[in-house]
Structure 1
Amino acid sequence: MTSVSQTALAVQVARLYYHQGLTTGEIAAELGLSRPKVSRLLSFARESGLVEIRIHDPAAQPHSLAGQLQERFPGVQLQVVGVPPGSPEEDWLPRVAQATAALLDSLLRSGMTVGLAWGNTLDAVSHALTPRRLGSLDFVQLNGSANIQELVSGFVTDTVTRFARNYGGRAHLFPVPTFFDDPRTKQMMWQERSVRQVLDLQAQADVLLYSVGSSAAGRPSHVYTAGALDEAAQAELGRLGVAGDIATVFFRDDGSWEDLPINARASGPDLEFIASHPQSVCVVSGLGKVPALHAALRGGLMKRLIVDEPTALALLQRVTAPEA
């Protein structure tokens, strides 16, 4: 059976099962198939994205955790991912990564360009993806990562190429430093044709996928551990009231980012691009990221947020706590 005929048959089976309420035995009799074949076609329909299953619990809204946060950040679509009660924090990220992978399957279409801001969270998402060949997809790295440690580890390149391989797309790496020593060097580099090609592709991205970086995270963000920031630079961030970063571009506790000197040396996109993008997806897991996440939400730095339940609860407690 060709992939086209299998897809058509899977759609037909799914309509009979989900829309008309037929059992697998009834579908098998109607279409002249075996019941195991019907079951395999239903599984194929779900795994390939032909069918999406959503659970809407009326009793959970508007008093659910997501609903309460939605009231405070109405411009953001929120998805709170449940985790086993009492589970350790290191078990939360895989759940969030799986939820993000499922969301991507519903968002991505052939011909799209996806901007990726590398880091621990997106690396976890890349490992949670279900193989699905869409073709004509471009995955472009949003911020540079060229340093000796990265060249040896391959952490960033592996993450971006893993996304591309999963969907049968193309990976576009950004071989410039995470931070330039001098803003003038960055300005000159940005005039190079090969760099401009990547920058132009970033600007065309249909979907942006990223997390918020924080030095206070239980597993500190990769930018803080990979040698991109020396002690002097990290001390400067503290003096300037920096809460975190997106694609290695920093923002303050109030969500603002303008006029931070280090951002003139950063290779990531201006955060105005993130804030104004219609399909910007932020993925966060871990209690240590709550202050940075709160600041990013105050700055309007996402249109969609996927977050684990304990982190969402800590965020809600933070935003509802009376000011001292």
Structure 2
Amino acid sequence: MTAATQTALAVQVARLYYHQGLTTGEIAAELGLSRPKVSRLLGYARESGLVEIRIHDPAAHPRSLAGQLQDHFPGVQVQVTPVPPGSAEDDWLPRVAQATAALLDSLLRGGMTVGLAWGNTVDAVSHALTPRRLGGLDFVQLNGSANIQELVSGFVTDTVTRFARNYGGRAHLFPVPTFFDDPHTKEMMWRERSVRQVLDLQARADLLLYSVGSPVAERPSHVYAAGSLDGADQAELSRLGVVGDIATVFFRADGSWEDLPINARASGPDLALIAAHPQSVCVVSGLGKVPALHAALRGGLMKRLIVDEPTALALLEQVTEPEV
């Protein structure tokens, strides 16, 4: 067989195999060749460059996004979760929650204490957990939720206890208001022994899990939707340039949180503690959270980020957008 004949036959075999989807046996029968001959011709087609095989890895783009974001925020480990192209934003959070649940399984060890900041995202993670028994795990609520709406819905307590049940651990709730009316009331409450026990657990937490809250998310963060903030509070936040919160403690677009009056009334931990924590995991999904996420990254308010692909791309565009 001449080289030209072999090339023409290899092209014919490749078309039948790759374009028409025939098996090597079907090609052999159609062309009057043996199956080993067909296999050799297919190998020749690949080796000689007649056929090029390209693998489009759906995870490659997220990995590239993660690397670019880590270049901008080198102190943060970024994990970008792929989502189906063209999928609705409501479909992204379950993917991110599953990725977070898998990460927790690799991080959690018996005897650890985990601080949980309640909200829609952490609640979604609680539903994605795979049951696993670990000895001596403590899950402590990081910010208060004692209001009429929470007493009726049980949203926060269900989230924290779901984590505890999943791992066979203990749930430590924080039965204080989300926001106090007077910062002096908070100061007095913080002296109570039962409250101090929870605060001490928070301070000793080995891992923190939370999201960023945003008033402009497609699905409003629970703190904004559950009536914890009245109109005057929200107007003050807007006037002061607040773009988001972590554990109901607010921060500005530059990532700063100091001297915001409402934070003196908030039940969540000082964000300086979160910024300094060595094992802080922030979970984010949704384009409306991009400004808050960008600000939190600027403020150094996480060590690890898990985010869906479209939100990561929007964040990268905001980070790289030229300043006017």
Q: TM-score, normalized by length of structure 1?
A: 0.81
Q: Which whole-Å CA distance do the structure 2 matches of 1:61 and 1:81 have between them?
A: 10
Q: Secondary structure at the match of 2:302?
A: coil
Structure 1 residues 67 and 234: CA distance shift in structure 2, 3 A:
same
Structure 1 residues 129 and 62: CA distance shift in structure 2, 3 A:
closer
Task: Name the structure 1 match of 2:299.
Answer: 299
Q: Secondary structure at the match of 1:229?
A: coil
Q: Give how far 1:240 is off.
A: 0.2
Q: Which whole-Å CA distance do the structure 2 matches of 1:214 and 1:79 have between them?
A: 21
Task: Name the structure 2 match of 1:27.
Answer: none
Q: Which whole-Å CA distance do the structure 2 matches of 1:219 and 1:92 have between them?
A: 12
Aligned length: 267
Q: What do the CA deviations read for 1:182-213 (whole angstroms, capped 9, x no partner)?
A: 00000000000000000000000000000000
Task: Name the structure 1 match of 2:263.
Answer: 263
| AA matched with 1:294 | H
Q: Secondary structure at the match of 2:255?
A: coil
| Pair 1:195-2:179 in alignment | no
Q: Which whole-Å CA distance do the structure 2 matches of 1:76 and 1:166 have between them?
A: 28
Q: Secondary structure at the match of 1:251?
A: strand
| AA matched with 1:164 | A
Instruction: Say if 2:113 and 2:207, in contact at 8 Å, map to a contact too.
Output: yes
Instruction: Say if 1:61 and 1:67, in contact at 8 Å, map to a contact too.
Output: no
The residue correspondences of 1:233-244 to structure 2 (distance < 5 A) are 233-244=233-244
Task: Name the structure 1 match of 2:43.
Answer: none
Task: Name the structure 2 match of 1:129.
Answer: 129
Task: Name the structure 2 match of 1:106.
Answer: 106
Gaps of 5+ in 1: 1-56
Structure 1 residues 293 and 152: CA distance shift in structure 2, 3 A:
same
Q: Give how far 1:178 is off.
A: 0.1
Task: Name the structure 2 match of 1:87.
Answer: 87
Task: Name the structure 1 match of 2:179.
Answer: 179
Q: Which whole-Å CA distance do the structure 1 matches of 2:213 and 2:258 have between them?
A: 18
Q: Give how far 1:302 is off.
A: 0.1
Instruction: Say if 2:285 and 2:311, in contact at 8 Å, map to a contact too.
Output: yes
Q: Which whole-Å CA distance do the structure 2 matches of 1:218 and 1:92 have between them?
A: 12
Q: Which whole-Å CA distance do the structure 2 matches of 1:62 and 1:211 have between them?
A: 20
Q: Which whole-Å CA distance do the structure 2 matches of 1:313 and 1:110 have between them?
A: 36
Q: Give how far 1:61 is off.
A: 9.1
Q: Which whole-Å CA distance do the structure 2 matches of 1:313 and 1:62 have between them?
A: 9
Task: Name the structure 2 match of 1:9.
Answer: none
Q: Which whole-Å CA distance do the structure 2 matches of 1:155 and 1:135 have between them?
A: 26
Task: Name the structure 1 match of 2:28.
Answer: none
Q: Secondary structure at the match of 2:93?
A: helix
Instruction: Say if 2:62 and 2:82, in contact at 8 Å, map to a contact too.
Output: no
The residue correspondences of 1:136-285 to structure 2 (distance < 5 A) are 136-285=136-285
Gaps of 5+ in 2: 1-56
Q: Larger Cα Rg: Structure 1 or Structure 2?
A: 2
Q: Give how far 1:135 is off.
A: 2.0
Q: What do the CA deviations read for 1:93-125 (whole angstroms, capped 9, x no partner)?
A: 000000000000000000000000000000000
Q: Which whole-Å CA distance do the structure 2 matches of 1:65 and 1:203 have between them?
A: 33
Q: Give how far 1:63 is off.
A: 7.8
Task: Name the structure 2 match of 1:3.
Answer: none
Instruction: Say if 2:140 and 2:198, in contact at 8 Å, map to a contact too.
Output: yes
Q: Give how far 1:62 is off.
A: 11
Q: Give how far 1:60 is off.
A: 4.7
Instruction: Say if 2:62 and 2:309, in contact at 8 Å, map to a contact too.
Output: no
Q: Which whole-Å CA distance do the structure 1 matches of 2:200 and 2:65 have between them?
A: 39
Q: Which whole-Å CA distance do the structure 2 matches of 1:299 and 1:314 have between them?
A: 19
Q: What do the CA deviations read for 1:115-164 (whole angstroms, capped 9, x no partner)?
A: 00000000000000000000200000000000000000000000000000
Structure 1 residues 133 and 251: CA distance shift in structure 2, 3 A:
same
Instruction: Say if 1:113 and 1:204, in contact at 8 Å, map to a contact too.
Output: yes
Q: Secondary structure at the match of 2:250?
A: strand
Instruction: Say if 1:274 and 1:302, in contact at 8 Å, map to a contact too.
Output: yes
Instruction: Say if 1:284 and 1:306, in contact at 8 Å, map to a contact too.
Output: yes
Q: Secondary structure at the match of 2:199?
A: helix
Structure 1 residues 173 and 60: CA distance shift in structure 2, 3 A:
same
Structure 1 residues 257 and 147: CA distance shift in structure 2, 3 A:
same
Q: Which whole-Å CA distance do the structure 2 matches of 1:265 and 1:253 have between them?
A: 20
